[in-house]
Amino acid sequence: MSKYDVDPAVTADNHPPQPVNAPRSWPANPITLLAKPTKAQYLTFLASWLAWTADAFDFFAVSLNVSSIAKTFNKSNSDITLAITLTLLFRSVGAIIFGLAGDRWGRKWPMVVDIVLFGLLSMATGFCKSFSAFLAIRSLYGIALGGIYGCAASVALENLPHECRGLFSGILQQGYAMGYLIAAALNLAIVDNSPHGWRAIFWFSIGPAILVAIFRAWLPDEDKIKRDKLVEMGAHIPTSEERGKAFSAELKYVFKNHWIRLIHAVLLMAGFNFMSHGTQDLYPTFLKVQLGYSPDIVTAVTCIFNFGAIVGGTFAGYYSQAFGRRLTIIVLCVCGGALIPLWFLPKDWRVLAVGAFWLQFCVQGAWGVIPVHLNEISPSFSLRAAFVGISYQLGNAASSASSTIEARLGEHIQTTLNGKAVPNYGKVQALFAGCVFAFVIIMTAISPEYRGAAFENTVNIRDEAKVAGAGGENSLKDGDVEMASIGKMEMAHVERMNSRE
């Protein structure tokens, strides 16, 4: 069976049709996979990766400076983690706004505007003079931050060769860990050497964001290129009015007929976000406050576990292409649960660093599968950015209180450091992580999986190519067959959705 053949159980009315999962086998050579994308595909992927990295850099600037910010505003650590909660909570608003905009008008310009906004709001954080202003800016920042993931994950993967998507999904997701890693390194270099303290890292953040926005704006618009090529091939392209009506009808159709899948995706993402934020956000504070380590050691451990995250995400994304998305996630969650004692019990920071490396290898390894998995289970090809972004960020909203929960519990479950009572953040994080790993395993086990799903509205690309006058499947390369049929299929899709309207 071809990778483009469709499961007959999935009818046209249950769109988008999903290809049958291929039999599990040993994955292709990663060097071969890395050589497949074109220069244009690599540049588009790089822009998405940089945007996601800048997103993480700005977000973790707060996590790395919780104690310092608390001192500035004369608040407790748990009060400052409320800013993290609000940022995560409001990200779902941004996901809806920019996800729908990306699906309706194309990924490029909504993404550029979004990057500029979160850069400006991150810089504004450094100018806050009161705690209330700090919370307000971080809430607005959350809206801007929420729009990145859906557009970035969709445009990064939809332009890649099918067989490369697992590997590149892992690489894309680890832009998050890379952003954390860069934030930790620059935080040590900037904050400790600036008379303005923690504020300096936020002022610095505007630079990377603007550079990424300029780079994304400089790249061609993939949607426009595709449409221009279809016009050259003689395909009929729906008008803006037709696409707008179809988009509205599609939105109603998906929420009416696929709401269960959306709810499941939100719950799955809630578990994943609890898993990452619950094991990362408060870990530097645990090292500093509970164990009394210096900023240098805290930064070293943070860098080490983010290296583990980068390796794990890439490794898992690659192997998920062959062994399946669900199986890869479940195995890593089981291993992550087994590593919890090594992650928080040792007193030697070197041993802790080893435990943190491997735990984040598992946590972010499982995360490495998520960009491609969410894209594949999206119930609509034309709302994929919105589905990915909204499910991800609503899951973020559901898990937004993870840092605050851990901080509050730590204040009530205490231990001692040099004879002084301090919050037992380690024990709290360990219990929290164990529960979350179990939840993610359950939600993943009941998740649908469409590994290899076509990222266009295809019933059968080979047959559609013949209908579109492409000259038959044997006369064209895979990419040409797909391009020749997209115009025909998009018009059919628009007509179908407008008839529902």
Q: Label each residue of 49-103 as H, E or C.
A: HHHHHHHHHHHHHHHCCHHHHHHHHCCCHHHHHHHHHHHHHHHHHHHHHHHHHHH
> Looking at the domain assignment, is residue 21 inside a domain?
no
Tokens of 454: 């076509």
Distance CA 443, CA 22 (A): 22
- Provide the CATH number for the domain around residue 229: 1.20.1250.20
d(CA 59, CA 76): 19
Query: What does the alpha-carbon distance between residue 138 and residue 154 come to, in Å, rounded to a whole number?
Result: 26
Report if residue 495 sits inside a domain: no
- Give the model confidence (pLDDT) of 430-486 as tens digits: 999 999 999 999 999 998 888 767 665 433 333 333 333 444 334 334 444 343 444
**What per-residue confidence (pLDDT) applies to 304?**
93
User: What does the buried/exposed string (b/e) look like for 107-144 if buried means 16 or more CB atoms within 10 Å of the residue's CB?
Assistant: bbebbbebbbbbbbbbbbbbebeebeebbebbbbbbbb
For residue 22, being part of any structural domain is answered with: no
Do the beta carbons of residue 172 and residue 79 sit within 8 Å? Answer: no
pLDDT at site 478: 41
Percent of the chain with pLDDT over 70: 79
Going by pLDDT thresholds of 50, 70 and 90, the confidence category of residue 351 is very high
Closest CA to 371 of 149, 176, 222, 179: 149
Average pLDDT over residues 409-430: 84
pLDDT tens digits, one per residue of 231-257: 666 655 566 566 666 667 777 777 788
In a domain, 12, yes or no: no
Total domains in the chain come to 1
Task: Flag whether 32 is in a domain.
Answer: no
Task: Say if residue 495's pLDDT is above 70.
Answer: no
Residue 11's SS3 state is: coil
What SS3 state is found at 421? strand
295 cis-preceded (ω within 30 degrees of 0): no
Domain that holds residue 362: 37-455
Query: Which residues is 417 bridged to in the sheet?
Result: 420
**pLDDT bucket at 9, cuts 50 / 70 / 90:** very low
307 Rama class: left (phi>0) / alpha (psi -120 to 50) / beta: alpha
**pLDDT tens-place string over residues 316-343:** 999 998 888 999 999 999 999 999 999 9
- Identify which of 1-5, 102-106, 466-470 has the greatest average pLDDT: 102-106
Q: Is the pLDDT of residue 369 over 80?
A: yes
Mean pLDDT across 137-154: 83
Q: Say if residue 16's pLDDT is above 70.
A: no
Within a domain: 389: yes
Name every residue whose Cβ is closer than 8 Å to that of residue 119 and which is 6 or more positions away in sequence: 54, 58, 205, 206, 208, 209, 210, 213
At 467 the pLDDT is: 35
Flag the least confident range among 20-24, 156-160, 396-400, 438-442: 20-24
Residue of 81, 61, 312 whose CA lies nearest to 208 = 61
Strand partners, 420: 417
Write the DSSP string, 265-313: HHHHHHHHHHHHHHHHTTHHHIIIIIS---HHHHHHHHHHHHHHHHHHH
Kindly give, in sequence order, each residue whose CB lies less than 8 Å from that of residue 416, ignoring residues fewer than 6 positions away.
Answer: 422
Q: Which two tokens stand for residue 478?
A: 């895979």
Q: What is residue 242's predicted lDDT score, i.e. its pLDDT?
A: 63
Question: For the residues of 190-212, what is the DSSP string, one character each?
Answer: HGGG-TTTTHHHHHHTHHHHHHH
Q: Is the pLDDT of residue 366 over 90?
A: yes
Residue 350 pLDDT level (bands cut at 50, 70, 90): very high
* Distance between CA atoms of residues 378 and 388, nearest Å: 7
- The pLDDT value recorded for residue 203 is 93
Looking at every residue in the chain, the average pLDDT score rounds to: 79
Q: Which of 212, 203, 196, 181 is closest to 48 using CA atoms?
A: 212
Are 91 and 396 contacting, i.e. CB atoms less than 8 angstroms apart?
Answer: yes
Residue with tokens 């993610």: 440
d(CA 256, CA 362) in angstroms, rounded, equals 36
pLDDT of residue 24: 54
pLDDT on residue 99: 73
pLDDT band at 311 (very low <50, low <70, confident <90, very high): very high
**Is residue 491 in a domain?**
no
Residue with tokens 């979004």: 114
**Residue 486 domain-assigned (yes or no):** no
More confident residue, 26 or 128: 128
Which among 101-110, 281-290, 320-329, 437-446 has the top mean pLDDT?
437-446
Are the C-beta atoms of residues 306 and 359 closer than 8 Å to each other? Answer: no
Residue 357: predicted pLDDT: 96
